[in-house]
């Protein structure tokens, strides 16, 4: 079975993502983010209430999405990635701290 069928329509598998060159991926992300911010700053009087109905998720649920929703989701998505990085960092710390326990630091 190909990666797109196993891991989603974009064909992104964790095994392949983990093999990427981190510096190159970060550089590509920063370039794309820079282009996106230039595009956003160039918008004049955007209609954030402009809406479209999309088919969403595996259940193909119909979802009405406004332009403002997309902008908010973009920011929230960035925060999800930051949370993932923090969780990975904590897991590494817990591992490196063995045989000691990090429980005193507080509930996770």
| Distance between CA atoms of residues 53 and 63, nearest Å | 5
User: What pLDDT, in 10s, does the model give residues 9-62?
Assistant: 555 676 777 788 888 988 998 999 999 999 999 999 999 999 999 998 888 999
3-state helix, strand, coil in the chain (%, to 5): 60, 10, 30
Q: Identify the pLDDT of residue 72.
A: 96
* Gap between the Cα atoms of 49 and 11, Å rounded: 32
Task: Please state the pTM of the whole predicted model.
Answer: 0.62
């Amino acid at each position: 079975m190909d990666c797109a069928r196993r891991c989603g329509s974009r064909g992104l598998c964790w095994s392949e993502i983990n093999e990427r060159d981190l510096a190159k991926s970060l550089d590509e992300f920063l370039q794309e983010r820079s282009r996106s911010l230039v595009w956003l700053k160039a918008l004049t009087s955007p209609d954030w209430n402009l809406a479209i109905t999309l088919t969403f998720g595996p259940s193909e649920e119909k979802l009405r999405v406004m332009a403002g929703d997309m902008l908010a989701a973009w920011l929230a998505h960035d925060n999800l990635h930051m949370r993932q990085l923090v969780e990975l960092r904590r897991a590494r710390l817990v591992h490196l701290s063995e045989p000691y326990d990090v429980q005193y630091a507080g509930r996770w």
